[in-house]
């Protein structure tokens, strides 16, 4: 069941740089949709995080409210692990930065980066990826 957490939503909006989406907001249905169209869950809050600080604020909010958390990267989980009925979605879509340290053969990939982004970023770099035919799943998820 979707819980009404209007006051907390306002507090979260004030504390976060990214957007906070509630059931009554325009775009809510798009924001809660995941790759598997059979999954139809209604979170109470969707926190579109743009930074690690936003993630910390969102998780703190969920803890304070006793809300279950789902973490969304690319939203590709077959079983819909990235959306939760009545809980809070930590949407990492704004965290897409991919930084490659070629000499060290190391990359730091944002939690919201999908394979399309990850495979494009490291120009002129040998970059073996585990991505197969699909470019939309999250690289980290």
Ligand X SMILES: Cc1cc2nc3c(=O)[nH]c(=O)nc-3n(C[C@H](O)[C@H](O)[C@H](O)COP(=O)(O)OP(=O)(O)OC[C@H]3O[C@@H](n4cnc5c(N)ncnc54)[C@H](O)[C@@H]3O)c2cc1C
| The two three-digit tokens of residue 71, written as one number | 């973490």
Q: Are the C-beta atoms of 40 and 48 separated by less than 8 Å?
A: no
- How far is residue 6 CA from its own chain's centroid? 21
Contact positions with ligand X (CB under 6 A) in 77-106: 77-78, 81-82
- Pick the binder of ligand X from 72, 96, 107, 109 (CB under 6 A): 72
Tell me the residue length of the chain.
141
| Contact region with ligand X (CB under 6 A), list: 6-14, 19-27, 43-51, 74-82 | 74-82
In whole angstroms, the minimum distance from the beta carbon of 5 to ligand X comes to: 18
| The two three-digit tokens of residue 32, written as one number | 């809660």
Q: Does 50 bind ligand X (CB under 6 A)?
A: no
Among 59, 62, 48, smallest CA distance to 96 is for 48
Q: Which is nearer to ligand X, 9 or 114 (CB)?
A: 114
Q: Which is nearer to ligand X, 7 or 128 (CB)?
A: 128
Which residues here bind ligand X, judged by CB under 6 A? 69-78, 81-82, 115, 130-134, 137-138, 141
């Amino acid at each position: 069941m979707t819980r009404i957490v209007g006051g907390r939503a306002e507090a979260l909006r004030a504390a976060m740089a990214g957007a906070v989406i509630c059931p009554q907001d325009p775009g809510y249905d798009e924001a809660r949709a995941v790759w598997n169209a059979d999954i139809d869950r209604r979170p109470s809050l969707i926190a579109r995080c743009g930074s690690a600080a936003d993630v910390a604020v969102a998780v703190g909010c969920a803890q304070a409210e006793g809300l279950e958390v789902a973490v969304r990267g690319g939203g590709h989980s077959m079983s819909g692990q990235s959306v939760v009925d009545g809980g809070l979605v930590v949407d990492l879509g704004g965290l897409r930065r991919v930084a490659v340290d070629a000499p060290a053969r190391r990359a730091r990939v944002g939690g919201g980066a999908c394979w399309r982004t990850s495979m494009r970023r490291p120009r002129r770099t040998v970059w073996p990826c585990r991505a197969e035919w699909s470019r939309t799943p999250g690289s980290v998820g």
